[in-house]
A = this chain, B = another copy of it.
Amino acid sequence: MKYGFAKRVNHMKSSAVRDILKVVNQGNVISFAGGLPDEKLFPVQEVRCAFDKALSEEPKVLQYGETEGIPGLREKLSERMEAKGISRYPENILVTSGSQQAIDLFARVMFNPGDIILTENPTYLAALQVFQSYEVNIVPVDSDEEGMTQVDLEKKIQQLKPKCIYIVPTYSNPEGKMWSLERRKQLLRLAEKYHTIVFEDDPYGDIQFDESENVPPLAAMDDNKYVVYTSTFSKTVVPAMRTGWITGPYQIIRMMAQAKQATDLHTNSLSQHALIALMEEFDLDEHIRTLRHAYKERMLVMKDIFDKADDLKIQYTEPKGGMFFWVSMPEEVNTTALLNEAVSNGVAFVPGTPFYVNQPAQHTMRLNFTNAEPDMIEEGMKRLIDVMKNRRGLDETK
C-alpha cells in the first residue's frame, strides 16, 4: 500500500552524519565522524550514585512531572547560567529532551512556512533539518573567522526581515569557530535595532581550552528580550539522558512549554532528579575541567599531525574549544569521494557538504577529536593522511 504523507516530509532527510555512523559503527574503522564525547570519560559511578540517590527519595520522582521541568533542576540551571553572566529566573527556563528539542520547539512556535531564517554557512546540520521541516527559507550570511560580517548581516535584516538569526557562536559545529566579542555586540545591536530574535545555540561553551578566555555568551549581554539561549548536559555529563534547556523571554518560553505538553508531556523526570543529585554530590565543574584538559590534548595531537603534513596544503583554524576540527583541502578535492577511500582505509570523517545551506565547499571536512583516545587519534590520522596523500598523488598524475 502507498501511504499519503504530509507535504513537510519532502523536507525531511535522514542525517548524513547518523547514516555514516551506522556503517562506521559496524567495522574496524576509527571514526572522527560523529559528534560524540568519549564514553571512557563519562562519570559513570557518579551517575550511578545519582540515580541511586534520586531513587532512594520519594516514589514521586517516578510520577508524571511538570512540563516546564523539575523546579529544583530549573533552579540549579539558573545558578549555573548566572555563573556565566546569564541572569535568568527559573521561570524563564524550559527543560527539554536535549537541546535538539529546544530548536524544534522554538521553530514550532515561531515559524510559518516561508519565514526567513538567517544562519551561518556552514552551520549545524540538524538545525537546518528542523528548520527545513517547517518549510522556512534559510538564508546564509557572509561570515569570516570572527563571525557574521556586519554589512551583509544588516543588509539581509533590512531586506528580508528575518524571523530569527540562528547562530552557534562558541566553538561552533562544524567550524569550531569562536565569535569575537565585537561581532557578538554588533549582532546584538542589530537585533535590537530591527527587533529580531537571536537563537544562540551553545552546546559546546563549557568545552573551553583556554581558561582565561572570557568572551561572554550573547545571552549574557541581552536583557532577556532578543536572545533565546539553549544548552545541554549531553557534552558535560552524558548524552543518553537527553536533558537540555532553553531560556529566553517568558512569552516565548511559555508558548514553547505549551507546545512541549502536546509533544511529549515532559522530559524524563527521573533523569532530571538524578541530575540534581549529581550536581549536589559531585563537582561538575571539576569534571568539566577534566574534560577540557583531555579534549585539548586530543585536539593538539590532531593539530600536530596536520602541521607535520604541510605538503598536503590543507587549511584549518585551531579550535579554541568544542569538539571539531574544520579542514579545507585544496579546492580540487571532493571530500565526499574521499570518504569512501578513507573508510576502506579504516578511518571516517564527515564531508563538509551537508553543513551548508547552499554553495557547499566540497573540499571541506569535519573531524571530531573528542571520541577517540590520543593513540587512536594518531593511528586514525596516519590512515587519513595516507588517503589524503594518495588522493593528492592521483590528482597530480591526472
Q: Which residues of A contact B (CB under 8 A)?
A: 1, 3-9, 12-15, 18, 34, 36-37, 39-40, 42, 44, 47-48, 51-52, 55-56, 58-65, 67, 96-98, 100-101, 104, 108-112, 126, 129-130, 133-134, 163, 195, 197, 225-226, 234, 238-242, 249, 251-252, 255, 258-259, 261-271
Query: B55–A47 contact, CB under 8 A?
Result: yes
Query: A39–B18 contact, CB under 8 A?
Result: no
Number of identical monomers bound together in the oligomeric complex: 2
Query: B261–A14 contact, CB under 8 A?
Result: yes
Query: B34–A47 contact, CB under 8 A?
Result: no
* 7 chain-A/chain-B pairs, Cβ below 8 angstroms: A1-B226, A9-B258, A12-B262, A44-B59, A47-B55, A129-B262, A271-B271
Task: Collect the chain B residues with CB atoms within 8 Å of residue A7's CB.
Answer: 112
Query: A100–B263 contact, CB under 8 A?
Result: yes
Task: Collect the chain B residues with CB atoms within 8 Å of residue A8's CB.
Answer: 108-109
Question: Distance (Å) between the CB of A157 and the closest chain B CB?
Answer: 15
Task: Collect the chain B residues with CB atoms within 8 Å of residue A58's CB.
Answer: 39
Query: B267–A6 contact, CB under 8 A?
Result: no
Question: Distance (Å) between the CB of A148 and the closest chain B CB?
Answer: 22
Query: B259–A242 contact, CB under 8 A?
Result: no
Minimum CB distance partner of A37 in chain B: B63
Query: B9–A109 contact, CB under 8 A?
Result: yes
Query: B133–A262 contact, CB under 8 A?
Result: yes
Task: Collect the chain B residues with CB atoms within 8 Å of residue A263's CB.
Answer: 100-101, 104, 130, 263
Query: A1–B63 contact, CB under 8 A?
Result: no
Q: How far is the CA of A52 from the CA of B44 in the complex (A)?
A: 11
Query: A12-B262, A104-B264 given. 19 additional CB < 8 A pairs?
Result: A1-B195, A1-B226, A3-B110, A3-B251, A4-B163, A6-B112, A7-B112, A8-B109, A12-B259, A39-B59, A44-B59, A47-B55, A62-B238, A63-B238, A100-B265, A108-B133, A242-B264, A242-B268, A264-B264
